[in-house]
Structure 1
């Protein structure tokens, strides 16, 4: 096999433009592509700066209602700074930063209810 990496992950949303604004404006992702896909749909693809994997904000999968994704893990070098920045932008992180043997993490939701995990390294 010659699979080298995960390219695109589909993230179910109800309002693609609102989701785009959250991922680009709040999380700091880059807009990779936004193109029409017919009269009522568009391909919106975002990615962390320099990342290999991107996210497409989808509305067209009947089996993936908006907000149904749970546990997409995002990596941060300084989780405390990232959580402070996110809460400063109005993102609710009710349980704050949690410690686990495998690392530190914080859970939050995007505007569509998809639950994301921000993960950092364990405490030294």
Structure 2
């Protein structure tokens, strides 16, 4: 078996338009795809030319919005990114110095949680 990459991660959201605004206007992600297919809308965002995208999707039956956690995002300027997130109303914990580097945590409007690290920290 040869798996070459993680292509997409799905973040369940209740309001795709609100999520799109947060991910594009607050996080600065680009929309890779925004298509309606029947009753479904495929809304895919990613930071720049990053290989992995996040699909902002309505919850599937039996799933709930806000259940994504543990995804790690990297920033070239952690302190500036944290300040901008706070200025845009996001709840941010940190940054804090950890054995592997500096990190902060935040959630999108639906409660999907992310870890934000300084580039190169691991």
Please give the TM-score of this superposition, normalised by the length of structure 1: 0.89
Report what 2:7 is aligned to: 7
Three-state SS of the structure 1 residue aligned to 2:65 is coil
Report what 2:103 is aligned to: 105
Which structure carries more strand by proportion? 2
Q: Deviations over 1:9-39 (max 9, x none)?
A: 111111111111100111000000101021x
**Is 1:104–1:122's contact at 8 Å kept on the other side of the alignment?**
no
Give the whole-Å Cα distance in 2 for the aligned partners of 1:28 and 1:121: 16
Distance 1:88 1:53, change over 3 A: same
Q: Deviations over 1:30-64 (max 9, x none)?
A: 000101021x3211000000200001111142343
Q: CA deviation at 1:122?
A: 7.6
Report what 1:45 is aligned to: 44
Matched, 1:66 2:59: no
Computed over aligned residues only, the root mean square deviation of the Cα atoms, in angstroms, reads: 1.6
**Is 1:102–1:121's contact at 8 Å kept on the other side of the alignment?**
no
Q: Which runs of 5+ in 2 are unaligned?
A: none
